[in-house]
Structure 1
Amino acid sequence: MEPKLKKELKKILLGIGIFFLFMICEKLHLLPMIFEHRLAAFAAYLIPYGITGYPVVRKALLGIRNRQPFDESFLMFIATIGAFATGENSEAVAVMAFYQVGEWFQAYAVGKSRKNIAALMDIVPETANVESPDGTVETMDPDEVSIGDILVVKPGERIPVDGEVLSGESMINTAALTGESVPRAVYPGASVISGCINGEGLLRIRAEKAFEDSTVSKILELVENATEKKSKTENFITRFARVYTPIVVYGALALAVIPSVISGDPATWIYRACTFLVISCPCALVISVPLAFFGGIGAAGSNGVLVKGSNYLEQIAKLRILVSDKTGTLSEGNFKVYKVCPKEAACAPELLQLAAAAEGS
């Protein structure tokens, strides 16, 4: 779990713990000097409310300042303020606390998906060895490599940028990028792509692309921008929320004002308006659809499948025929001995020893 999520979880649990402690004290009349006085009880419940609800309140106030108030944070904020105003302190804290629990689970799911994708995309070279005209080799960040630079790639290192082999012969592992499990032989004049792992030979490569234009960067860019390519469902939900939220706010305002004027009982109708705000909050709808798609992209990533965007993931539901490369995609291409069947006087260990000796010669 990420440190930020751990910190947020501790804050939420602390706030909920204090909230339940106050509720027990109130129900059992343990601290009458606090919970039997409205202002004192309000001040007490502000403590767990502030601990759990600060991010929501801050986001709501920023939205108001930026003249874009109509979102789920604004709804939760005014609903809980209304609950405090009508004396329902525990309900105000409960609504905010459980909303934050839901938000935390959302952040946890997104973080897990990102981690799955990051693990899959562990193909970025960390350094590049650039050969100077005088023959010295300088280690630098791949971002600093220029087109035309001569790179020295040692055995076991990743090729930092796309280029052409000038000297040296080797076998390079392209499995992380192409899915092909069989190493590819390279020699002077051969083109190589970034992210591949060099085998046993030393290679001198002339950079033909900058790092940001290389193959590995393009793949990373596709993955990082995957959530920006929204599906039709996500786009509809976004448009729907922009219209729906103001309607809910104005509807709650009308529910609080008009019946209060007619009946002369503002407390009851303000409470009902706050209830209407909470149950009408579109946060579950707005959160669930993008989260479902992002979770799908992350789950696919953990299984070695890169999805370029939610729109592509949605199209899979309509899939009827799938054309796929086999080796490295549907199969691993890594063979192992299942059974040794020696003939006549030979024994299995001796046969394996002879086979290993022949392979190594």
Structure 2
Amino acid sequence: MKTRFRLTNLDCANCAVKIEQHLRSLPGLQDSTVNFATMCLTTDTDDLKRLRREIKSIEPDVDIKPWRTAQFTAASEQTLNPLQNISIISVSILLLTILLLFENRLHEAHLGTLEYVIAGVAYLLSGWNVLKSAFRTIMDRQWFNEHVLMTIATMGAFAIHALEEAVGVMVFYQIGELLQNMAVSKSRTSISALLEIRPDYANLRTGSETKRVSPESVNAGDIIVIRAGEKIPLDGEVIDGTSQINTSVLTGESVPQVVRSGDKVLAGELAMTGMLTVKVTRSFSESSVTKILDLVENAAGKKAKTEQFMTRFSRYYTPAVVILASIIAVVPPLLIPDQSFTVWVYRALVLLVISCPCALIVSIPLGYFGGIGGASRQGILVKGSNFLDALSRIKSVVFDKTGTLTKGVFKVRNIVPSENYDENEVLRCAAIAEYNSNHPIAKSIVQAFTERGGSFDDFRISEHHEISGYGVKSVCGNQTFTAGNDALLHMQNIAHPVCETEGSVVHVSNNGNYMGYIYIGDELKEDALLTIKSLRDAGIKDISMLTGDNFKAASEVASKLTLDRFFSSLLPEQKVSQFEKILNEKDHDGLVAFVGDGINDAPVIARADVGIAMGALGSDAAIETADVVLMTDDPSKIVQAVHIGKHTRSIILQNIIMALGIKLIFVGLGSMGLAGMWEAVFADMGVAVLAVLNSSRALNVSRL
């Protein structure tokens, strides 16, 4: 079982990578992941003491706390007071300015000591934390650490009398660290704000009293009161009152919904008007808001291939640059006549300054988690950065029909009796057969029967059987009623005429005698056609439909929506095999997504490259099964999910190209002596700041 912990004082992305790599090397902890964006450690053990010991062996300043007891705020994660940092940097800049302005004077013999004193004070002021960290790391025998390499580079500059550059590198490194921490903090604040849907309290009614308590202390069956302006703390059913409910936090829908007695409400929704009395149906740990928060927070553990590659790349990049720097420092002066060691050592020191891939290690997790957080506010729950990446690579989409492309609100449109029967008899027998079924079509038949004045008071149904993929059979007295599709009649060898009606058809029989059929109509969702068009505009090459409905009904929907192909009259197990054929026959290297309701289509959703469940608000099964969960019934959310995936991947690729491109350019320039330490600091910290700021754009998904 996975356990989550909060890491505190983790202000270095490279440190997060080292902690993860160290934990993964230990027995029983091979699946550990560290997310720098959320300070979250996900691992297979709950042994806090062991984890603390192992983490502190790598990063002594980092601490670990249980997830729920550690309240995360970006501001609380600042290891140093920003004002204190700014004060130290300001004094260091002043001393550096003196060194630069009076460089020639200070080089004079009688002022040489003063030059070293000024440079030394500025260096220690700006670099004390770096030096302290470097010393600790060396004691732990870890050489390829950002702070160790920065210390070697700047001390080397001191040794060759490049005092201004040694101080300048340390000062601007600290400025870059400050700006990077501020940018990371801003991104974390934005992400945590997106996830601030957890209710703080519940108004528990006990007898005639109402008291404010923690949502965790409320049990199913308790009565709570929600006033205007309060978050609904737990899932429940309204037993009194009326209110307009803002569901945007869960669904992304801005239009308020009116709820009254008998309606269901979910934790995290906001009561805008009136007062509600609600009977709690699920404890807080089982509520929708808890499952959503857990889903989004757990998403950090499912890393995209890009993220995994960059983690592996960072393991080799720094040693490679250090080895290159060592070669540059030693080999050219030995092999090339009249070459100064000082010149080549300086070039090597320049490479050490840009030897840490911080820009990539920081910005990529922030970009992915920003995309996941932004999607969640639009009612789109993505279970990991790997699935967010997968959304951008979808080339085929396969839809279920009922409830996905159509409304799934069935009505009896027509009743066609066979000889010797009338409409009322056919409807009555169908209603008896369907009475105990929860299928939407069954409910529409029962509703039509009661609307025509029918009553079940005189019926005693002794047996009821659901025949999956075919229909139902019920026994009432000495009569056996069946209601289902054409295949059910063939299964029971009941003679019947061929029916070519468009739409869903329910055939009815009594004791093996065919009575006639009922035509059930469904409607397309308003945005279904626009969704198909938008998917094609987004680069989706093939759009198909799988349905258990008959050929005519499926053909009608496919024609109206201009689908590429459809497959009808499929039993549940046939849907899986047909979907596997689609996977095997695809003529592109993209991924295939399946969109369904997450309950009846669970096997197909699980088989898809990207399984998408629609209308999953309050559905535990959908949240468990799917890779992407859409909290509303709007097909257009699928298009938005694809756009969010493409938007996030675009930002990640921009950061990779920018960071690697600039780093490699400056490695080349530094090796040739065309770039000094000033430029190297920009290549290191400047690019990291730019990449983090670019990653923060992943949060802005509302217009996609």
Q: Same fold (TM over 0.5)?
A: yes
Residues 317 and 355, structure 2, Cα contact 8 Å, conserved in 1: no
Q: Distance in 2 between matches of 1:308 and 1:31?
A: 65
Q: Deviations over 1:247-298 (max 9, x none)?
A: 3334544555677788997655543432332244433444454455466667
What displacement does 1:16 show?
2.6
2:278 to 202, 205, 208: 205
What is the correspondence of 1:282-321 to structure 2 with a 5 Å cutoff?
282-290=357-365, 292-293=367-368, 309-318=384-393, 321=535
Q: Determine the structure 1 residue equivalent to 2:103.
A: 26
Q: Determine the structure 2 residue equivalent to 1:135.
A: 208
Q: Determine the structure 1 residue equivalent to 2:147.
A: 73
Q: Determine the structure 2 residue equivalent to 1:358.
A: none
Residues 322 and 351, structure 2, Cα contact 8 Å, conserved in 1: no
Q: More displaced, 263-272 or 86-95?
A: 263-272
Residues 109 and 295, structure 1, Cα contact 8 Å, conserved in 2: no
Q: Distance in 1 between matches of 2:173 and 2:374?
A: 25
Letter in 2 for 1:278: V
Name the SS for the 2:291 alignment partner. helix
What displacement does 1:88 show?
1.9
Could you list the runs of 5+ residues in structure 2 that have no partner in the other structure? Answer: 1-73, 396-534, 539-594, 596-633, 641-704
- Would you tell me which structure has more strand in proportion to its own residues? 2
Assess, with a 3 A threshold, how the Cα gap between structure 1 residues 62 and 216 changes in structure 2: closer, same or farther: farther
What displacement does 1:70 show?
2.0
Assess, with a 3 A threshold, how the Cα gap between structure 1 residues 267 and 246 changes in structure 2: closer, same or farther: same
Residues 92 and 171, structure 2, Cα contact 8 Å, conserved in 1: yes
Q: Distance in 2 between matches of 1:235 and 1:103?
A: 24
Q: Determine the structure 2 residue equivalent to 1:157.
A: 230
Could you list the runs of 5+ residues in structure 1 that have no partner in the other structure? Answer: 331-361
Residues 237 and 278, structure 2, Cα contact 8 Å, conserved in 1: yes
Q: Determine the structure 1 residue equivalent to 2:289.
A: 216
1:16 maps onto 2:93 in alignment: yes
What displacement does 1:108 show?
2.7
Q: Distance in 1 between matches of 2:154 and 2:228?
A: 62
- Would you tell me which structure has more helix in proportion to its own residues? 1
What displacement does 1:239 show?
0.8
What displacement does 1:237 show?
1.5
Q: Determine the structure 1 residue equivalent to 2:160.
A: 86
Q: Deviations over 1:209-264 (max 9, x none)?
A: 34344322333344445555433222112111112323333454455567778899
Q: Determine the structure 2 residue equivalent to 1:278.
A: 353
Name the SS for the 1:124 alignment partner. coil
Name the SS for the 1:125 alignment partner. coil
Q: Distance in 2 between matches of 1:308 and 1:43?
A: 56
Q: Distance in 2 between matches of 1:109 and 1:304?
A: 26
1:117 maps onto 2:194 in alignment: no
Q: Distance in 1 between matches of 2:229 and 2:288?
A: 19
Letter in 2 for 1:231: A
Q: Deviations over 1:296-350 (max 9, x none)?
A: 66777899987665434434543563795569x98xxxxxxxxxxxxxxxxxxxx
- Report how many residues are paired: 325
Assess, with a 3 A threshold, how the Cα gap between structure 1 residues 218 and 44 changes in structure 2: closer, same or farther: farther
Q: Distance in 1 between matches of 2:108 and 2:285?
A: 64
Q: Distance in 2 between matches of 1:163 and 1:11?
A: 55
Residues 142 and 160, structure 1, Cα contact 8 Å, conserved in 2: yes
Q: Determine the structure 1 residue equivalent to 2:648.
A: none
Q: Deviations over 1:44-80 (max 9, x none)?
A: 2233323333343344334334444423233212211
1:57 maps onto 2:131 in alignment: yes
Q: Distance in 2 between matches of 1:90 and 1:304?
A: 54
Letter in 1 for 2:280: A
Assess, with a 3 A threshold, how the Cα gap between structure 1 residues 84 and 226 changes in structure 2: closer, same or farther: farther
Assess, with a 3 A threshold, how the Cα gap between structure 1 residues 86 and 149 changes in structure 2: closer, same or farther: farther
Letter in 1 for 2:93: I
Residues 154 and 201, structure 1, Cα contact 8 Å, conserved in 2: yes
Assess, with a 3 A threshold, how the Cα gap between structure 1 residues 305 and 259 changes in structure 2: closer, same or farther: same
Assess, with a 3 A threshold, how the Cα gap between structure 1 residues 319 and 202 changes in structure 2: closer, same or farther: same
What is the TM-score normalised by the length of structure 1? 0.71
Q: More displaced, 241-250 or 182-191?
A: 182-191
1:186 to 243, 248, 259: 259
1:231 to 286, 304, 318: 304
What is the TM-score normalised by the length of structure 2? 0.40
Q: Deviations over 1:190-224 (max 9, x none)?
A: 33211112244432323343434432233334444
What is the correspondence of 1:340-359 to structure 2 with a 5 Å cutoff?
none
Q: Distance in 1 between matches of 2:330 and 2:108?
A: 35
Assess, with a 3 A threshold, how the Cα gap between structure 1 residues 13 and 162 changes in structure 2: closer, same or farther: farther
Alpha-carbon RMSD across the aligned residues, in angstroms, is 4.0
Q: Deviations over 1:148-178 (max 9, x none)?
A: 4432212331111222334444342212211
Q: Deviations over 1:56-109 (max 9, x none)?
A: 334433433444442323321221122223322221222222233333333233
Q: Determine the structure 2 residue equivalent to 1:177.
A: 250
Name the SS for the 1:248 alignment partner. helix
Assess, with a 3 A threshold, how the Cα gap between structure 1 residues 231 and 55 changes in structure 2: closer, same or farther: farther
Assess, with a 3 A threshold, how the Cα gap between structure 1 residues 62 and 146 changes in structure 2: closer, same or farther: farther
Assess, with a 3 A threshold, how the Cα gap between structure 1 residues 315 and 160 changes in structure 2: closer, same or farther: same
Give % identity.
42
